[in-house]
Amino acid sequence: MIKRPLEGIRVIGLEQYMAGPYCTMLLADAGAEVIKIERPKIGDPRRSMPPFIEKDGVKKAAGFLGYNRNKKSLALDVSTSEGQEIFKDLAKKADVVVENLRPGSMKKLGLSYEDLKADNPQLIWATISGFGQLDGYLGPYAKRPTFDIVAEAMSGIMNLVGFKDKPPSWTIYGMADVYSGLTTAYGIMQALFMRAQTGEGQFVDSAMFDNMLSLNEAMITSYASAGQIGERGILKNVFPRGAYKTRNGYIALNVPDNRIWTRLCEVMERPELADTPETRTGTERAANADTLQPIIEEWLANFDRDEVVDKLNSAGVPTGPVYNAEEVFSDKHVKARGMLMPIRDKDVGDTVFARTPIHLSKAPELPKNSAPNLGEDTEYVLKELLGYSSEKTEKLLSNSIVDKD
């Protein structure tokens, strides 16, 4: 009986930081066997990035633990000829390779998809880069390295985040990384589905710039259809929308259409505002925000946050409280959904991470294995998976081609 949908799928991850690890974390949560390849002695740079969890003299990076759960670790030096042969042997036995190294790195090593696909025609190779690597779609930025904030900036998102009188701002740390990991996993799923029909693998090209452009669809549509460039803190076609202060905290309020606006006016006991020349459409409400904003703020100031959230939702005006981390952890609905998933690490104990958000009725439970120590599974990969002898394995270890925990 299949417990998770990707059981039987083997993924090799030449990955670091966030985008690649988040992608393979999703695949591992779905049941795939994910073998993470890391540099001996050093590992993924995120192993050394705070915040840290410490217990009994052992210190581990919380971010690394979160995005690398349910994986195996192979410490392998792919810059050596011996390491490259090991990678080639692994690729022959893999269904999927995911890599997010600097553009051109794998080609320089002779380990690109073009180098290896002949030995495994069913191999699916996913590359996450800043600006895309697929032949026929290479732009002038293709060779640039990038981090998530660059993709946010160039996609127009940063220009829209914040307030008009302040500089552009980023959204949350790692937004482009996480979203690129998600879209890449989606692309891999498509490629696996196509392979089931054709028997052939393919190259999956995921660009962080493209991913954030697609996320910023509203800007694309507004400019293409109406020539609107957009201003920070100002929406020209929707009002009200934003964080609004109550007696003891903030709520998130969004009124996308006249139906919701009418309900808001009724619950505020201001029905006369529902249909006037100044409020008839979202565009007109936005143009008259200076007049309407104080009316909404004055009404909300009469209520506690949770009280007005219940009042508005009961009236059919979707809203919710603006939470901090402590409030998220104590929320009953979060607990009911199982979104805070405890995972026990053998060295530092229990830690809580965000669960992969999709629940499948036929496979609701996720595996809960902590992120591996560097090289924890090196001997398993070499001896059991690749069939190397103990003598060959020991020689590779002594020559520092591989390392083990």
Nearest to 20 by CA among 131, 145, 198, 182: 182
What distance in Å separates the CA atoms of residue 193 and residue 267, rounded to the nearest whole number?
49
Please say whether the beta carbons of 211 and 127 come within 8 A: no
Q: Is 177 a catalytic residue?
A: yes
What distance in Å separates the CA atoms of residue 248 and residue 167, rounded to the nearest whole number?
29
C-alpha to C-alpha distances, 197 to 5, 89, 193, 331, nearest whole angstrom:
17, 26, 7, 44
What distance in Å separates the CA atoms of residue 217 and residue 219, rounded to the nearest whole number?
5
| Helix, strand, or coil (residue 92) | helix
* Number of residues in the chain: 405
What distance in Å separates the CA atoms of residue 130 and residue 100, rounded to the nearest whole number?
9
- 3-state SS, 317-369, equals CCEEECCCHHHHHHCHHHHHHCCEEEEEECCCEEEEEECCCCCCCCCCCCCCC
Which of 177, 345, 377, 403 is catalytic? The answer is: 177
Hey, which residues are catalytic here?
177
